[in-house]
Amino acid sequence: MGIWGSLFLLFLILISAYQSFAKEGSAEELNEEFTEGLLLRPLADRKVLAHFHFQSSVPPTRTYGRHHHLFPKSIYQLIKKFRVREMELSFTQGRWNYERWGGYDPISSSNAKPPGVELWAIFDVPLDQVDASWKNLTHALSGLFCASINFLEHSTSYSAPQWSFRSFTGKLRYGTLPREAVCTENLTPWLKLLPCRDKAGISALMDRPSIYRGYYHSQRLHFTSDEYDTAKSNSGIMLEQTLTVVLQPNTLGARAMVSGKTLQPSWSLSSLFGRKVHGKCSVSKSSNVYVQFEQNLVSELKEVWKESEESERGILTHNNFWTNPIFEMSASPHRIVKEVGNLQQEDSSILYEFSVEDFNDSEPFDLGLKWKLPVAWSCQQAPLRASRFLMGSGNERGAIAISLKSSRNNNTQRVGCSENGSQLRIDIFQVVPWYVKVYYHTLKVFVDGELQSTMENIEKMHISSSEDKVSPGVMEMILRLPCGVKTAALTLEFDKGFLHIDEYPPDANQGFDIPSAVVSFTDFQASIGFEDNFLNKLPILNELQERKHVICYTEVLLVPLTTPDFSMPYNVITITCTVFALYFGSLLNALRRRVGEEERLLKSKAAKKRGPLTSILSKLFAKLTGRPIKPPETQSASPSSINYKVIVKVILVAGMAVGWQYYFR
């Protein structure tokens, strides 16, 4: 009995210990958190998308205090000092290929960014201080990220969109630097914000040469803070850092062919990045790698599967699927997550989850995907494909055209339209620098090639025209297009302005950039819903699940402006001065002139016929040639001696020139 009693006591102690432990666990929820994740997706054009996602969160200062253990100090100070409510900064190199890499998924909507730097921020300060805060923020960020973000300080380079970009009237500022070059000096400070930097965890994969060799590279920093919200229930600061790269796997030699079709390239983490994952970052809460098969790929795989082998559906989620005849994965996934809520189509995208927690230095994680059968699929497109180009020629005027073309699969479009009464809503936000003077009254809308009356298709429009050397021109517009539209185009005419000679950037002949326009389809939402509710705790899946509008960026336009000859002012000074000097000299000479004396001189010359100089020269010439001096008695000798004179003068000048060259080289 005593033994039983003591055992019972032990049990009680254990229970109480567990309870206290559980209590601690619940208290942990208020703590700072850091998670890391990597999403890999084979792309239809034989490339691979890698999307790194890191998230740090911190509870509000009011309850948690201002000293942090994981959250980057510099970002917290930035938020604190400039009272930033939300901010996004992206550094991008290359252009996201909406046709081949997709335009209707969460990653392309939130991570496809315009080339160069894009920065927008929402401030929690009174309206009249927003501009000052923005200026200070740009300077702080340019110091933090080693980039020329401080050029966004000038009021000509940023704008305040009213409603089309994000609905925060007045306190939002938006600016882009299309020509900013992005390289490691921007990545290193970005990595410094991660607790493990690139020393451990998934970020250890970021081998600089491999990353920058890619076709597209975009690093993004986004945070939301409700530190200054008046509402009681605030959730603190959430910092999200993503790096999206599109890489071409090494296909070592010739492309593998199976039954006349090209095989998709096989890849592994080590072949893509040249590195492997040696365990997780020790302070991160979760650290997973996902491989995503898009919806179209999944349906294609099923087709191929049916062809090759009669089998039941759902084979892709079958127990031993990773050694199937179509492809092979080098590791078994930890879990398989299926998309749900996509009612329109029977096939849905699949995520294979791999946890890197159990790997270490001796046994690194190296995920590989090997294709055995050729598979071809196309990615999901945005309802309309937007592109922008310049029209016209010459250095005087031109026109900007935004063209919207219906994408190939009308599937999605029909879906969006049915929801909205056969009208397709398109939001366009475009910023044009002041030296491109856009005449907004020349706006023309073409639908399927026919000119429409402007107001018919435009639901709402807000224009703030540019002011010379003060502010850029901003156009915000909601366009309603009929559902079955094939093509639509907007044109705007503009005049090219003249800049002051000081305002030209270096290498002005390259042309000037007009930042990308933002085209968003607000009726369409790119999100992938997942079946498991507890997955909500994983930020990378949360990002995919978040309901966002489908957004795409158009191309950056390069406008050649008339560039002056930059040495012109000096040339003008020189030539004016020379003219003045000539005038002055001749005036002085005219004043000094003795007319009578000159006449006498001429007379004496005519009498003498030969000047003293010519006689000396002829004597010299005779000596040089060795002929005896002949008294010049004939008239015919005279022109030849003049000839000599000219030749000698020319030689003299040439000698002087040679001497000059020789001594002043």
Partner 1 sequence: MAEISEAPSTLDPDFDQENMRKSKPGLKRLTLSLAVLFSFLLGLPFLLKSIEIYRSSPPPFREIDDLSTAIESSPILFPCHFRAVFVNFDPNSYTADQLSISVQAHMAKFAAKNSPACGTCASNVTVSVTLDSNSNCISNGNNVDWKCGALNEFKFAEKHEDGLLDEDFASLLDNNSGAKVYTVVAVKTEQEEVRAVVGKYRHAWIMGRIFEEEAIEKIAEIFVNVFMNGGKEEGLIHGEFMPLGADGRIVLSFNLLNADPHNWIYDWDFQEIDENLLSPVIDALKPLADVSVESQVLYHTPKSSFSFWDDRLDSYIFSTKDLPFFVNSNEWHLDTSVAAGGLSKILQFVVYVPSAKECPLQLQLPNGEISTTNGFISPMWGGIVVWNPSACLTDSKIKHPLRYKISSEDSRKLFEVFMGQLRQLFGLKSDGLFVGASGTSILLASERGFSEWELDVLSRQHSCFNLLQCGTTLGSLSRLVQSLPRMIIMDDIGKQVKYSLEAARLTLSNALLGIYDASAESSRQARLLAEDAFYHPSMMSVSYYSFEHCFAVYSPFFLPVSLHVLLAVLREWKRYKQESKKYYAWKAK
Applying CB under 8 A, the residues found at the interface with partner 1 are 65-70, 72-74, 77-78, 80-81, 140, 192, 195-197, 199-200, 279, 282-283, 357, 360, 570, 573-574, 577-578, 580-582, 584-585, 588-589, 591-592, 594, 597, 600-601, 603-604, 607
Q: Which of 244, 512, 487, 530 is nearest to 383 (CA)?
A: 487
For the CB of residue 543, give the shortest distance to partner 1 in the complex, in Å: 24
Instruction: Indicate the residue among 188 and 378 with the shorter CB distance to partner 1.
Output: 188
For the CB of residue 576, give the shortest distance to partner 1 in the complex, in Å: 8
Instruction: Indicate the residue among 73 and 619 with the shorter CB distance to partner 1.
Output: 73
For the CB of residue 119, give the shortest distance to partner 1 in the complex, in Å: 17
Contact 559, 396 (CB under 8 A): no
Instruction: Indicate the residue among 74 and 464 with the shorter CB distance to partner 1.
Output: 74
For the CB of residue 586, give the shortest distance to partner 1 in the complex, in Å: 9
Instruction: Indicate the residue among 45 and 207 with the shorter CB distance to partner 1.
Output: 207
For the CB of residue 241, give the shortest distance to partner 1 in the complex, in Å: 15
Contacts of 582 (CB under 8 A, 6+ apart): none
For the CB of residue 277, give the shortest distance to partner 1 in the complex, in Å: 14
Instruction: Indicate the residue among 80 and 166 with the shorter CB distance to partner 1.
Output: 80
Tally Cβ neighbours within 10 Å of residue 18.
Answer: 10
Look up residue 363 and give its amino acid. Answer: E
Instruction: Indicate the residue among 140 and 415 with the shorter CB distance to partner 1.
Output: 140
Contacts of 119 (CB under 8 A, 6+ apart): 87, 88, 89, 90, 138, 141, 149, 152, 174, 175, 176
Question: CA dist 262 to 46, 372, 555, Å?
Answer: 10, 11, 31
What is the C-alpha end-to-end distance of the chain, expressed in Å?
112
For the CB of residue 274, give the shortest distance to partner 1 in the complex, in Å: 20
Bridge partner list, 92: 116, 218
Instruction: Please state, in angstroms and rounded to a whole number, the distance separating the CA atoms of residues 278 and 365.
Output: 6
Contact 386, 380 (CB under 8 A): no
Instruction: Indicate the residue among 134 and 327 with the shorter CB distance to partner 1.
Output: 134
Instruction: Please state, in angstroms and rounded to a whole number, the distance separating the CA atoms of residues 57 and 60.
Output: 10
Instruction: Please state, in angstroms and rounded to a whole number, the distance separating the CA atoms of residues 489 and 452.
Output: 10
Instruction: Indicate the residue among 363 and 532 with the shorter CB distance to partner 1.
Output: 363
For the CB of residue 144, give the shortest distance to partner 1 in the complex, in Å: 8
| 402's tokens | 């935004």
For the CB of residue 633, give the shortest distance to partner 1 in the complex, in Å: 21
SS3 assignment, position 200: coil
For the CB of residue 600, give the shortest distance to partner 1 in the complex, in Å: 6
Contacts of 563 (CB under 8 A, 6+ apart): 504, 508, 509
Instruction: Indicate the residue among 78 and 291 with the shorter CB distance to partner 1.
Output: 78
Instruction: Indicate the residue among 192 and 334 with the shorter CB distance to partner 1.
Output: 192
Instruction: Indicate the residue among 80 and 95 with the shorter CB distance to partner 1.
Output: 80
For 185-191, which contacts have Cβ atoms below 8 Å and span 24 or more sequence positions? 185/146, 185/147, 186/91, 186/145, 186/146, 186/147, 186/219, 187/211, 187/219, 187/243, 188/146, 189/144, 189/145, 189/146, 190/91, 190/145, 190/219, 190/221, 190/241, 190/243
For the CB of residue 571, give the shortest distance to partner 1 in the complex, in Å: 10
Instruction: Indicate the residue among 140 and 336 with the shorter CB distance to partner 1.
Output: 140
Instruction: Please state, in angstroms and rounded to a whole number, the distance separating the CA atoms of residues 228 and 177.
Output: 29
Q: What are the helix (H) ranges across 546-636? A: 568-592, 595-608, 612-625
Instruction: Please state, in angstroms and rounded to a whole number, the distance separating the CA atoms of residues 385 and 109.
Output: 13
For the CB of residue 279, give the shortest distance to partner 1 in the complex, in Å: 8
| DSSP code string of 420-472 | TTTEEEEEEEEEE-TTEEEEEEEEEEEETTEEE-HHHHEEEEEEE--BTTTB-
Contact 120, 165 (CB under 8 A): yes
* Rg of the chain (C-alpha set): 38
Look up residue 91 and give its amino acid. Answer: F
Contact 173, 161 (CB under 8 A): no
Instruction: Indicate the residue among 486 and 603 with the shorter CB distance to partner 1.
Output: 603
Instruction: Indicate the residue among 147 and 436 with the shorter CB distance to partner 1.
Output: 147
Residues in the chain: 665
Instruction: Indicate the residue among 319 and 362 with the shorter CB distance to partner 1.
Output: 362
For the CB of residue 85, give the shortest distance to partner 1 in the complex, in Å: 17
For the CB of residue 69, give the shortest distance to partner 1 in the complex, in Å: 5
For the CB of residue 337, give the shortest distance to partner 1 in the complex, in Å: 25
Q: What share of the chain is helix, strand, coil (3-state, %, to 5)?
A: 35, 30, 35
Instruction: Indicate the residue among 356 and 475 with the shorter CB distance to partner 1.
Output: 356
For the CB of residue 71, give the shortest distance to partner 1 in the complex, in Å: 9
For the CB of residue 190, give the shortest distance to partner 1 in the complex, in Å: 12
595 φ, ψ (degrees, to nearest 5): -70, -45
Look up residue 96 and give its amino acid. Answer: W
| 55's tokens | 């998230």
Instruction: Indicate the residue among 309 and 598 with the shorter CB distance to partner 1.
Output: 598
